[in-house]
Amino acid sequence: MSTTPKPTKKGTLVSSFRHAFRGCLVLLGGERNARIQLILIAVAVILGLWVNLNATQWGIVAICSAAVIAAEAFNTAIENLCNHLHPENHPAIKNVKDLSAAAVLLISAGAFVSVCFLLVPRIFFLVSH
């Protein structure tokens, strides 16, 4: 008799997307910071339309935006897992959560600076002319 485990049935592509979209709803429905970040992304998009960004600049905005939201999703997942596995306060868990939050802060700061480099000079130009 073979002791090889039976392969598990993988979900369909549609179910994978369903889970991913559910995760987006969980993130946006339960995380105030994710909603704030989404509003800031919308502001960047509106300003980008106003200053007429080119394709490369839009790519930078898109990558920065996706990175910030993805970092927030990872942070939320890590925090939820920590809370589930170790509900009581613990210094090691606090460090994990703080490091996860720091990652969001760092990627958000980088995205903010990058988008400011794209938008601020163009806004000043449009306002001054």
Quick: pLDDT tens for 39-53.
999 999 999 999 999
Q: Which domain holds residue 30?
A: 15-128
User: Residue 70: inside a domain, yes or no?
Assistant: yes
User: Residue 61: inside a domain, yes or no?
Assistant: yes
Total domains in the fold of the chain = 1
Q: Report the CATH number that the domain containing residue 58 is assigned in CATH.
A: 1.10.287.3610
User: Residue 5: inside a domain, yes or no?
Assistant: no
Distance CA 70, CA 27 (A): 10
Q: What is the pTM of this model?
A: 0.84
User: Residue 105: inside a domain, yes or no?
Assistant: yes
pLDDT mean by block of 10 residues, the chain; 129 residues: 62 92 94 95 97 97 98 96 94 96 98 96 92
User: Residue 93: inside a domain, yes or no?
Assistant: yes
User: Residue 9: inside a domain, yes or no?
Assistant: no
User: Residue 89: inside a domain, yes or no?
Assistant: yes
In terms of Cβ atoms closer than 10 Å to its own Cβ (0-12, 13-18, 19+), residue 125 is exposed
